[in-house]
Amino acid sequence: MVFSKFRNQKGFTLIELMIVVAIIGILAAIAIPNVITYLKKSKTAEAKQFLSTLRTLQEAYLAETDSYGSLSAIGWTAPANPKYYMTYSAAFTTGASFVARVSGNIDSDADTDAWTINQAGTLAHATLD
C-alpha cells in the first residue's frame, strides 16, 4: 500500500534532467562562437562607419580649403558613447594626403585593433601590440 502512493506522483527522473542539461550544453557550444562572430562584425562595421564619416568630412574640407584638416578643423567630434572604438586620430600632410585611424579591441585579447583610411578611400586593418 505504501508503494502505490508514490506511483501517482509526477516529476522528472535524474536521467531526463541530465539529458536536458546535455542538450542545453550542446546548443550553447554551437551558439556562443556565432555570437562572438556577429559581435566582431558589428564592431568592424562601427569602425568603417566612423572612418567613412571622417573621409567624407575631409573631402568636404578639401573642396572648401584646398587642403585636409585636423579633426576639429573638419568639424568632427567623437561620439559621446562609442560601443567599441575609444581612440580617433587624423594625420595629414600639407593638404596632399591624410590618414584617419580608429582603434579599440575587437576580440577582447591583449592586442589593440586599428582601422585606417586614406584620401583614396583605402581601408586597412592592423593589430597593435
pLDDT tier for residue 7 given thresholds of 50, 70 and 90: low
Instruction: Please report, for the domain that includes residue 24, its CATH number.
Output: 3.30.700.10
Q: Domain limits at 112?
A: 12-128
Number of domains in the chain: 1
pLDDT score of 124 more than 80: yes
Q: What is the mean pLDDT of residues 101-117?
A: 79
Q: Is residue 58 part of a domain?
A: yes
The whole-model pTM stands at 0.67
Q: Is residue 7 part of a domain?
A: no
Q: Is residue 115 part of a domain?
A: yes
- What are the pLDDT digits (tens) for 23-76? 999 999 999 888 888 888 888 888 888 888 888 888 888 889 888 888 888 887
Map residue 123 onto helix, strand or coil. strand
Q: Residue 72 burial by CB count (10 A; 0-12/13-18/19+): exposed, middle or buried? A: exposed
Q: Is residue 3 part of a domain?
A: no
**Ordered strands of the 97-104 beta sheet:** 87-93, 97-104, 112-118, 123-128
Q: Is residue 1 part of a domain?
A: no
Residue 21's pLDDT is what? 96
Q: Is residue 90 part of a domain?
A: yes
Q: Is residue 2 part of a domain?
A: no
Q: 77-111 burial, b for 16+ CB within 10 Å, e for fewer?
A: eeeeeeebbeebebebeeeeebbbbbbbbbeeeee
How far apart, in whole angstroms, are the C-alpha atoms of residue 100 and residue 115?
8
